[in-house]
Amino acid sequence: MKIIALSLLLFFFCIQSNAQGIDTLQDRVNLIEQSLFYQTGELPLKVGEAKLKVPNGFRFLDRKQSIFILTELWGNLADSSVIGMLVPNGKGVLDFNSWVFTISYDDMGYVKDDDADDINYDDLLNEMQQECTDANPEREKQGYQAIEIIGWASQPYYDNHKKVLHWAKEIKFGKDTINTLNYNLRVLGRKGVFMLNAIATMYELPEVRTNIGKVINSIEFTEGNRYGDFKTDIDQVAAWTISGLVAGKILAKVGLFALVLKFWKLIAIVFVAGGSAIWKFFMRRKKQEEGMD
C-alpha cells in the first residue's frame, strides 16, 4: 500500500496544475492546512460533562473537521463518536510524519476498576491475538486486509489515582511492511469514558509516548461528574471492567479508524490533485472565509 501511494504521489508532484494558479501538490497541501481552524486553551466539551485543556505542544480540531480528515483525507470508515482531535504543533495533518490523538466519548456508565490489579495481560494478549486471527476470514470476505496483533507496544497500565487506563498495541495490516501503532487512553468518569486514540505508525511511538502525560491530563470532568462522584443508588454501572476496555469488546466502532493505515491519506491527496470533491470542499471553504474578511 505504501509503495503504491508514494509512487502516485511522486508522479503527481511532477505534474504542473493550472487550477486556481496552484502549481504543485505541495501548494494544495499547504492550502488545505491553512483552511483548518485550530484551537488552543481551555474548551468546553459538548458531551461527557467535561472540558478539554489543550496541552502545550498541541492544537485542537473540532468534530466536523476531524471527521472530514479521518474519512475523506485519510480513507477511514465514518465514526460519529469522534468529537475532535489533538494535533501536535509543527505537524500538518497531511505531513508524512503526522500523527494525532482522536477524542471520543462513550456514556457506557461507571466502569468498575476492581479487577485492575488482577489482570494477566499476557493471557489477555493471547486471547486478543486468537480472536483477531479467527475474525480475519470474515474481514477478508468483506474486502478488508487481515490484521495481526504483533504484541504490546506499551504494556497496559492503570493509574488508580487519576482513573486513567492506557496501553498500546503493534498491529500489522496484510503484507504491509510498516506496522501501525494503536495507542489507547481511557479516562474514566462517573457516567462514561473518554477515549483518546493515537493514529500513528510504530516509527512515531517514542514521540507519542513522550506526550502521553500531557494528553492524559487534558480531559477534566466538571464538578460532580468525576469518577469519585459515583452514586450507587442512582448511577448506571457499565457492563465492562478494566480488562474489557483493554480487550476492545466495548463497541466495534471504538478506535476503528485507528486500525486503518494512514498512508491512505497519500492516495487521497492524489485525488485532491485531480480536482476531486475533497479539493472543491476546501476551495469553497476558503472562499467563504475570504468573504467574511
Instruction: Please report, for the domain that includes residue 78, its CATH number.
Output: 3.40.1000
Assess if residue 274 is contained within a domain.
no
Mean pLDDT of 246-265: 48
67 CB burial (10 A radius; 0-12, 13-18, 19+): buried
Inside any domain, residue 17: no
- Dist. CA 85–CA 76, nearest whole Å: 15
Chain position carrying cell 470542499 = 281
132: three-class secondary structure by DSSP: helix
Provide the domain limits for residue 153: 36-262
What integer pLDDT is reported at residue 288 of this predicted model?
56
Counting Cα atoms < 13 Å in the Cβ hemisphere of 70 gives: 33
Task: Give the residue from 258, 260, 262, 205 showing the smallest Cα distance to 6.
Answer: 262
Asked whether residue 175 is assigned to any structural domain, the reply reads yes
Residue that has been written with the C-alpha cell 466536523 in this structure: 64
pLDDT of res. 280: 57
Kindly state the DSSP code that residue 144 receives in the 8-state scheme.
Answer: P
**Domain presence at residue 3:** no
The pLDDT mean for the chain works out to 80
Q: Which residue has the higher pLDDT, 150 or 175?
A: 150
Question: How many separate domains does the chain show?
Answer: 1
pLDDT in tens, 117-173: 899 999 999 998 998 888 888 878 877 778 889 999 999 999 999 999 999 999 887
Does residue 2 fall inside a structural domain?
A: no
Query: What is the rounded radius of gyration, in angstroms, for the C-alpha atoms of the chain?
Result: 20
Of 47-61, 84-98, 109-123, 140-154, the range with the lowest mean pLDDT is 140-154
Q: Identify the residue with better confidence: 83 or 260.
A: 83
Q: Is the pLDDT of residue 182 over 90?
A: no
Q: Side by side, which strands form the sheet with 42-44? A: 42-44, 50-53, 219-221
Beta strands in the chain (DSSP E): 42-44, 50-53, 58-62, 82-88, 100-106, 147-159, 164-173, 180-188, 193-201, 219-221
Q: Is 46 exposed, middle or buried (0-12, 13-18, 19+ CB in 10 A)?
A: exposed
Helix (H, G, I), strand (E, B) or coil at 33: helix
Q: Where are the beta strands (DSSP E) in 144-209?
A: 147-159, 164-173, 180-188, 193-201
12 within some domain:
no
Give the per-residue pLDDT at 160: 95
251 — pLDDT class (breaks 50, 70, 90):
very low
Residue 1 has pLDDT above 90, yes or no: no
CA distance 92 to 65: 13
Is the model more confident about 235 or about 288? 235
Whether residue 134 lies inside any domain: the answer is yes
In a domain, 86, yes or no: yes
Q: Can you give the pLDDT at residue 276?
A: 53
CB atoms within 10 A of CB 219: 20
